[in-house]
Amino acid sequence: MRMRSCQQTVDKVITLGRHRLRSSTLCTSSSVRSNGSASGSRFPSQQYVSTLSYLPFQSIERKTMKFQTSILLFTATACQAWSAAPLLPTTRTFTAAVLRSSSIATETVGEADTESFRIKFKNDDGVISPWHNIPLKGEKGYNMVVEIPKMTKAKMEISTKEESNPIAQDIKKGKLRDYHGPIFWNYGALPQTWEDPTEEHPELKVFGDDDPIDVVEIGSKTLGMGSVTEVKPLGVLAMIDDGELDWKVVAIAVDDPLAEEYNDIDDVPDAIKDGIREWFRWYKTPDDKPLNGFGFDEKFLNKAESEKVIEETHEAWKKLIAGDTDAGKIWIK
């Protein structure tokens, strides 16, 4: 019954989205109200989602035409149970069983919305790198380091060039970087992976983006920034961003209620897959950036292929750590 209701909602969203596309106005399927406010906080402690609303962005000049851009997002929000989560913990400890090592804790340094803000990772021996020292695999799945909780806008990331690789807010042209609208899924990276910028993909003919591989977690919970969550991959999307290959692994937390239903990419509703693709296609256009493209005819590759991609990027990371590949400005130890 729950899945039937979900599919009915999905069908309505897709129908409405197609109608809006024909009129050159793109729509989103979610809006956030945090603590009773329509605008909300960039780091809300609680989210409430309405099924359909619109988030128009700005008009962008092109050489031959002017058009309004938005993010087309078809997400099955009606199928998700939203919950509060500590998004900015001062201290968080992860169990040894999950990480196959001594206990790991996070420490928040500096104030949010400032250049000094950091989330640092520590174990019993001191500060560690969430990229290099947290293992790729846990007991039941892959370890995901959460950088951006769902329904937030601050562009947080593992700082690959900074000592010990803390999580920090990205800076562009001297300003803290924010998305122009919230991201609708938990977003992060798989540790001990690397998209090698010196290696050309044999089919796509583009090079890696010099970062750990990205994860889009589509579960029902809001995951805290800096948390380490075991996920199972469901598929992967080959995004081409500014001429670089930027894989997006679609995954779900192994302890999420939907994990029993989602085992491969075909189990994921089209509404969610379309939403992910279109969000990443359009999200840079308000900054006068071109649309992002996708390889493999814009299709999501399946679970088996996603695991191959993860393994390839893991092998590339091993070569990076071993010194077989030039690290450039990346901090490795």
User: Which of the residues are catalytic?
Assistant: 179
How far is 318 from 295, CA to CA, in rounded Å? 26
Query: Cβ contacts of residue 323 below 8 Å, gap of 6+?
Result: none
Q: How many residues does the chain have?
A: 333
For β-strands 142-148 and 228-241, DSSP reports them as: antiparallel
Which residue, chain included where needed, has tokens 């919950």?
83
Q: Where are the beta strands (DSSP E) in the chain?
A: 31-33, 48-50, 59-61, 66-68, 91-94, 104-109, 118-123, 126-128, 142-148, 156-158, 167-169, 171-172, 175-176, 186-189, 207-208, 214-217, 228-241, 244-253, 293-294
The residue type found at 206 is V
What is the distance, to the nearest Å, from the Cα of residue 87 to the centroid of all Cα atoms in its chain?
15
The residue type found at 100 is R
How far is 225 from 188, CA to CA, in rounded Å? 9
